[in-house]
Structures are given as structure tokens and as C-alpha cells.
Chains A and B, each alone.
Chain A
Amino acid sequence: MQSRSIALESEHDIAVARGEVRSLAAGLGFRIIDQTRLATVCSELARNVVKYAKRGRMIAQPLDAAQGRPGLRLIFEDTGPGIPDIGAAMRDGFSTGRGLGKGLPGSKRLVDVFEIESKVGVGTRVTVVRWL
């Protein structure tokens, strides 16, 4: 299966992205609970892009067994303000917005791999993988 790139520029795009992730995950053979985890992670991370950076994109990369392990990788990238203190942002209950501060730490618990790179004034990239 091919990678898909989805623009994240409005709140509606969040719903589009998570719908796409769910159908990709279903197509790859993920069971319902993992489809739900992936769609939820997508919703959290896509919302961060739209809320903090205004725009960015999600790249969904199906991983097949030939490349190692089958799974689904999601990359969220933006050229927004960046995160000054990633350690703080990863703590439960920390939020600079109006959220509950569950977005990043909660998302991490729903996936097998969670990587975050961010530079103030340059942008943020969050990469997650859930293995099949």
C-alpha cells in the first residue's frame, strides 16, 4: 500500500485524517481496538497541528512485512511555533491551550513507537507507529 499525505489546515481536516487512518488500518488487518487507538491518536495529534501551527500535514505510511514488521506509521509535521519544553508537554495534565493536557502523553500510551522532534520557531514532527 502507498503512503498517503493529508493536509491539516482546518478542524474539518482532523475528521478527514482520522477517517483515512481508520480505513487504512482496517485495510492492513488491524483489529477494531487498534483501529480505534490509531484513529484516536490521529485525532489528538492532527488537532495539535491545527490548533498550535494552524497548518501542517499527516503522512500515513503502511509498513509491510518485507520492510521488517507490518504496521502503520503516522507522521504529523508542521512549521509552527514549536514546543519549547517537550518534557513538560509530555507530562499528563500539562497544557498551554484549553485542552486537558492529555493529548501527547495519552497518545503515547496508544502506540508502540512515539517520537517527537521540535524546534522553537521551526516546527514540530511527531512520528508514531503501531505494529500489526
Chain B
Amino acid sequence: MDGQQRIPILKVGRVLIVPIQVDMDDQTVIHLQERILSELERTGARGVLIDISLLEMVDSFIGRVLSDIAAMARIMDARTVVVGMQPAVAITLVELGLELRGVDTVLNVDEGIRLLRSEFGIDEDEEDADFAGGAGAFAEQVNRP
């Protein structure tokens, strides 16, 4: 089963939704990180919403990868929220001494979408217009001395 677990990445408007519904081995976690970044590049999405409500454990490895995904997505001008952490997982993370640095966490998918839209200004209704604007902004930036 090594590396064969496939976590779906769904694009809804300008947000990538990543529902993690199984315990992932390390290879799957690393593949997921790579796939999220390449999907960000391919689709021009501005937000990543990772749903871990069915994840029964977050250890220091998965915690570090979640932080890395958020940091890398940020560099690609996208914001990341992690939603639905189980209480037992949250308690264990704190006892373990993990901070999930740079990762915004909210209770559920609704809150996650709301955060991405309001706080980070990602509006899925303006997808096409935004995408053109984004490309224009990029061109502008490139031309800046």
C-alpha cells in the first residue's frame, strides 16, 4: 500500500479543499504536500482548506508537514486553514509540544471558507476576473524595477 493512498484535492472556486479521511503513512503525507503545491500552481487557487476531521492522530511529522504546506502555500500567495481537528488530537498536540506554526485552525469547513473569504479576501465568485487580475498583477510585479 506504500504511497498508494490517494487523498482527493477538490477545487471549489479559488479554494483547494483537501479532505483527509484516512490515516496517512509518511509517503502519502509527502505526496500530498507536493500535489497541493502543484495544484496551487496549476489552478491559481488562493486558498487551501485541509479538513482533518476524520484524522485520528497528528504526530510531529504530520504537524511539521502541515506547517510546511502553509509556509510554502504562503510563498505562492495562498492561505491555508486546517479545519475540524478532533478534541483528542488537539489535546495530544499541545501535550506533545507542537504549535502548528503558521497554520490557521478553525472548527469546521464553513468557518474555514468564511475565514479564507473574509480575512484573506478570497472570493470564489470572482474566479475568472480575479484570475486575469492575478496574472496582470504578476506581470506588473515582474516589470517593476
Contacts of B97 in A (CB 8 A): 92, 102, 105-106, 109
State whether B60 touches A33 (Cβ < 8 A): no
Count chain A residues whose beta carbon lies closer than 8 angstroms to a beta carbon of B: 28
Q: Which A residues are CB-close (under 8 A) to B23?
A: 15, 18-19
Q: Tell me, in angstroms, the Cα distance from A107 to B58 when the chains sit together.
A: 13
Chain A 95-109 against B: per-residue CB contact (8 Å), 1 yes, 0 no? 000011011011101
Q: Which of A32, A102, A109 has the largest number of chain B CB atoms within 10 A?
A: A102
Given the interface contacts A44-B59, A102-B60, does A10 sit within 8 Å of B2 by beta carbon?
yes
Q: From residue A53, how far is it (CB to closest CB) to chain B in Å?
A: 16
Partner of A47, one of B24, B61, B98: B61
A90 to B76, alpha carbons, bound, how many Å? 36
Q: Is B34 an interface residue when CB atoms closer than 8 A count as contact?
A: no
With A and B bound together, what is the CA distance between A110 and B91 in angstroms? Answer: 10
- Whether B26 pairs with A14 at a CB distance below 8 angstroms is yes
**Number of B interface residues in the complex (CB < 8 A):** 25
> Which of A35-43, A60-68, A112-120, A121-129 touches B?
A35-43
**Which residues of A are found within 8 Å of B98, using beta-carbon distances?**
100, 102, 106
A127 and B56 alpha carbons, distance in the complex (Å)? 23
Partner of A102, one of B1, B89, B96: B96
What residues of B have a CB within 8 angstroms of the CB of A35 in the complex?
A: 56, 88
Alpha-carbon separation in the docked complex, A100 to B27 (Å): 19
Once the chains bind, are A36 and B89 in contact (CB under 8 Å)? yes
Q: Which of B31-90 contact A (CB under 8 A)?
A: 56-61, 63-64, 86-89
